[in-house]
Structure 1
């Protein structure tokens, strides 16, 4: 009897683990596809598109903020000892590094230039979005737990 109980308890987590892994892979693929879209868009020549002054900083803020949200969404499948600050720091760090690599990539793109201020807008968008993610999800979980 004890052996059967041990076997049953071992099989259930494995099935749940497969579902969790599959969902994590799905989240990761969607996030990587969005990052690829950013890479593709930054490879394009935008010299023919007239933009108002500092409009590009707002675009960087929003686009990389969304990337940070998607990374937070992907990391929500992990349990880093249930420390939300670790997930936020990791999401901001990944997004900031991706923003820096995107700026470096623009060195090789015609009619594009590298700007530290673009990278700062990327990082600010990432930080804002990550803390927004925490604020929204923590209130949602508290509300869900009390219902």
Structure 2
């Protein structure tokens, strides 16, 4: 019985690290399913929705890197976070194929990749500067 309790605790810990990234992926999927007109009405301050791609995938890479660093023994969580971001971007563009007034776009995928890379570079830069923001993220270790 105690082995089961340990397994449940470990699963809960794993989920607590991955939940933010999974929720963010759900938000991206939801927004990806909206028409261009809907998104323009929701985000009038973004005249070019590529900013949404950039910011969305920057945040995704930060969240995925955070989760990887705490749950997977990998020497390069940043590289994996960028790869996961790009793969999710590919799935996002495929999803848009089925959305009225949306279509897959290689330019959007490139912006997704740049956003993921910038997210990882930002966290790496903050870690090197040893800022409080990174300390707060790392305190759960």
* Bin of the TM-score, shorter chain as denominator length: 0.7 to 0.9
Please say which structure displays the higher CA radius of gyration. Answer: 1
Question: Which residue in the other structure is 1:136 paired with?
Answer: 126
Paired with 1:137 and 1:22, the residues of 2 have a C-alpha distance of: 26
Deviations 1:62-110 (A, max 9, x none): 11110001001111204636x2xx2111000000000011001100001
Aligned partner of 1:36 among 26, 29, 38:
26
Q: Does the aligned pair in 2 maintain the 1:60–1:121 contact within 8 Å? A: yes
Q: Does the aligned pair in 2 maintain the 1:20–1:77 contact within 8 Å? A: no
Instruction: Quote the offset at 1:20 in angstroms.
Output: 6.3
| Consecutive unaligned residues in structure 1, runs of 5 or more | 1-14
Call closer, same or farther: CA 1:62–1:106 in 2, change over 3 Å.
Answer: same
| Consecutive unaligned residues in structure 2, runs of 5 or more | 1-5, 136-141
Paired with 1:75 and 1:134, the residues of 2 have a C-alpha distance of: 14
Aligned partner of 1:73 among 58, 66, 77:
66
Secondary structure at the counterpart of residue 100 of structure 2: coil
Secondary structure at the counterpart of residue 135 of structure 1: helix
Secondary structure at the counterpart of residue 47 of structure 1: helix
